[in-house]
Amino acid sequence: MSTLQIGLVLPDVLGTYGDDGNALVLRQRARMRGFDANIVRIHLGDPIPTSLDVYCLGGGEDTAQILAAEHINTDGGLHKAAAAGRPILAICAGLQVLGESFRADNRMVTGAGLIDATTGSLKKRFIGELQSTPHPNDGGITAGLTEPLTGFGNHFGSSILGSDAKPLGIVTHGVGNSDTEQPTYEGAVQGSIICTYMHGPVLARNPQLADLLLAWALDMPMSELQPLDLPVVDKLRRERLQR
């Protein structure tokens, strides 16, 4: 195939917590398998290309979220990419921005409406290690996930999923989408969109999730990706899961 195009959406406003690293992980894991890969940085005010192979959004503060939502809604490019089934990974504030609405600056703000979720506030801000087991989303984009998911949570948002969205995982440690619902779900999956509150970056800490997105972007089964022997990644993963 031609060069894999990885869209990094609004890193200037949704780049507070190092989530830009997810695009770097995708690029490196593609290159290590012999695929050409390039990161396309899309800044505030830039049009969002509709035909990139995969898109990544990160976290940010209230003002950044509002700016991001306004840009995404006005531009419309990410909506077209989602409608075409392009894989999209959204982290923390990215999850909130892609939802129906979210709370920021003490008011409810209209989101992109790409995820059936509404975000209010937790009783207490969560900061700490977060782990989950993949939710059995039969037939969905994450159906191939079998390994525990791990990341670092730092959020005050309480996201409630509607019927069109499914959770990414079921929390085994930490606080996920909400501190009121049982069982406690983490993240959201809808169509080709995967959202999570896990920083880390999440793809550095969860290589299976990285390869799932990569395989989707390359239009091939994950089982056909060449295995990578990366002891340092395995060590990091073991350390984080033991925490």
125 is in an annotated binding site: yes
- β partners of residue 45: none
Active site residue 195: no
Q: In the beta sheet, which residues pair with residue 149?
A: 132
CA distance 190 to 211: 18
| Angle 25-149-37 from CA coordinates, rounded to 5° | 15
Of 142, 140, 119, the C-alpha closest to 132 is 142
Query: Which of these is catalytic: 92, 135, 155, 195?
Result: 92
199 is catalytic: yes
CA distances from 36 to 2, 31, 76, 127 (A): 7, 6, 28, 37
| Binding site as annotated, residues for substrate | 125
Residues annotated as catalytic (active site), given as ranges = 92, 199
| Binding site as annotated, residues | 125
